[in-house]
A and B are shown apart, each in its own frame.
Chain A
C-alpha cells in the first residue's frame, strides 16, 4: 500500500522555457491547423500576446522536470503499472511562447479501491510565469495497479 503520510509532499519546483518551436511541433503533432498556434502575427491579430500554448500543454510542462514521473522514485513504483486516470486544468491566464514557467507540484490525496487492488495518487500543479502571475493549475490522478 502507498504511504499515505506522503499526502502533502511537495516536489522540488523547476523552471521551463516555453519555446516557440516546441509549441509549433506540439500543434503539428495534434493536427492543429489554426494559425494562431504556429504564426505570431495570426496570434496577435486574434488578440493574443504571441503564440499561445494549447490547452493541454501544461501537462507537457510537468514532463520537463528533472524526472519524467517524480512519483516513481517517491513511492518506488513500476512505470508499466501506472495509468493516467484523469486530468483537470484550470486557466487563470495564458501560457505564451517565450514565457518562463515555474512549476510547483504536490501530492494532495492518496486512496485505494477494490480492496487495495487499485491505488490512486492525486497530484496538484501550479504554473506561474516570469511576471509572477499564476496562469494555471492542474490536477492529475494516477492509478497504480497492484
Chain B
C-alpha cells in the first residue's frame, strides 16, 4: 500500500451520464420512492424542469470512491452537504484529498475532503470522511 499523507489524492471516479434508468433503479434499490426523482409529471408540478437525481445517489458514488481506496471496515465517519442538484445527462466525477492526519482513540485517521463535480465544474456535493490508516 502506498504511503498516505496530507495531500494524497484519492483516485477519482467518473460516472456514466445520469439517465432516467439510473434514477429509477436507485429509487427502487434505495427505497427512496420520492416521485420527484422518477416521475416527470410530479417534478414539473413541483416547479422543476424534469426529474433530477437523488442527492444520496451521488453520496453513494462518493462512498464507492472511499471503499475503492480503503476497505470499508476502516471508514469511521462520512458526511456530505448537498450543494447543487444533479440533472439528467450530467456527468459526475467523484474524488477526494487527504487534508489532515489526526490521532484519535489509539488509531491514526486520515481526514479527507470528498467532492462530486459536474463536467462544467459545478460542485454538487462536498463532504468529509475519516478513514483509519
Contacts and interface: CB of A to CB of B under 8 A. Distances in A.
Contacts of B80: 86-88
Given A56-B63, A87-B79, A89-B78, A48 B73 contact: yes
Contacts of A28: 25, 29
A63 B30 CA distance: 8
B46 A80 contact: yes
B60 A25 contact: no
A29 B58 CA distance: 12
Given A56-B56, A86-B81, A87-B56, A29 B73 contact: no
A30 B61 contact: yes
B77 A84 contact: no
Name the interface size band of chain B: 35 or more
Nearest to B48: A80
B73 A89 contact: no
Name the interface size band of chain A: 35 or more
Main secondary structure of the interface of B (DSSP, over half): helix
B78 A60 contact: no
Contacts of B61: 30-31
A90 B28 CA distance: 25
Interface of B: 15-16, 22, 25-26, 28-34, 36, 42, 45-47, 55-57, 59-61, 63-64, 66-68, 71-73, 75-82
Interface of A: 22, 25-26, 28-32, 34, 36, 46-48, 52, 54-56, 59-60, 63-64, 68, 79-81, 83-91, 94
Given A91-B76, A94-B73, 17 more contacts: A26-B29, A30-B29, A30-B60, A30-B64, A31-B15, A32-B64, A54-B60, A54-B67, A55-B60, A55-B75, A59-B30, A83-B82, A88-B78, A88-B79, A88-B80, A90-B76, A91-B77
